[in-house]
Structure 1
């Protein structure tokens, strides 16, 4: 005799149609693919663009705040930095105030790639905003920020 509990198919449809997590994940994947395709000529992914943009600041950035901004852990950040450092776009240096900590900064070639990516990002971003049904990107940003 089996004690398998059957979940009604109606529950599957309810989750499919109403689950915010599912819908946000689907939208995030679709957006990621769109930006990846747009940035492909620069051999840059949307994640790399976001990471490099987070390093576009007057002073080198500590890893902790960058990881927090990108909503990733430091291990994931370290892995994401590897291809960027191999390409010579990012440098990782010891923090002079704490030799165990690391500081991240864009190299001149990294800044050049980022500068080439910004116009692509602007065009792609504008296209995405026009696809919103009510055209209210600010509302969507506020709602997503509230969830994060």
Structure 2
């Protein structure tokens, strides 16, 4: 076997254009950036928006449940939730059945944001030049990829 081909293969494997990770990383950053003007109007950060979407769906969750669903550790989530509590959007209380567990619930102000936030997905879809079918297919592929990695 010609050893002069081996370095070429290794170099090709290390080209940025040949990586799966980079377009996912860049797309994630750009998509999060695309949300910014819509969330800024609501005084929300993207991670806060993610927390709200879960709470609007479930009304209350433990910090552990939020972390599992958002794939965030408590060290990242706790300061975020404290800021949301300071803005009076959520309440944090110890679970009476398990003092180690903290339950996060919506306040009336947090519930009221839901009406305003309903427009955010529509605004983002208007910004993307993709059909609902394309978006659904991409979400399915990414969900499958996430399942493979976890």
- TM-score, scaled to structure 2: 0.81
Aligned to 2:140: 142
Following the alignment from structure 1 to structure 2, what is the Cα–Cα distance between the partners of residues 46 and 14? 32
Aligned length: 139
Q: In 2, are the aligned partners of 1:89 and 1:106 still within 8 Å (CA)? A: yes
What residue ranges of structure 1 are gaps of 5+ in the alignment?
Answer: 1-6
Q: In 2, are the aligned partners of 1:49 and 1:114 still within 8 Å (CA)? A: no
Question: Which 4+ runs in 1 deviate beyond 6 A?
Answer: none
Q: Tell whether 2:17 aligns with 1:17.
A: yes
Please give the secondary structure, in 2, of the residue aligned with 1:113. Answer: helix
Following the alignment from structure 2 to structure 1, what is the Cα–Cα distance between the partners of residues 112 and 12? 48
Aligned to 1:4: none
Aligned to 1:45: 45
Q: Tell whether 2:93 aligns with 1:96.
A: no
> CA 1:22/1:97 → structure 2, altered by over 3 Å: closer, same or farther?
same
- Of the two structures, which has the highest relative contact order with CA contacts closer than 8 Å and spacing of 6 or more? 1
Aligned to 2:3: none
What residue ranges of structure 2 are gaps of 5+ in the alignment?
Answer: 1-6
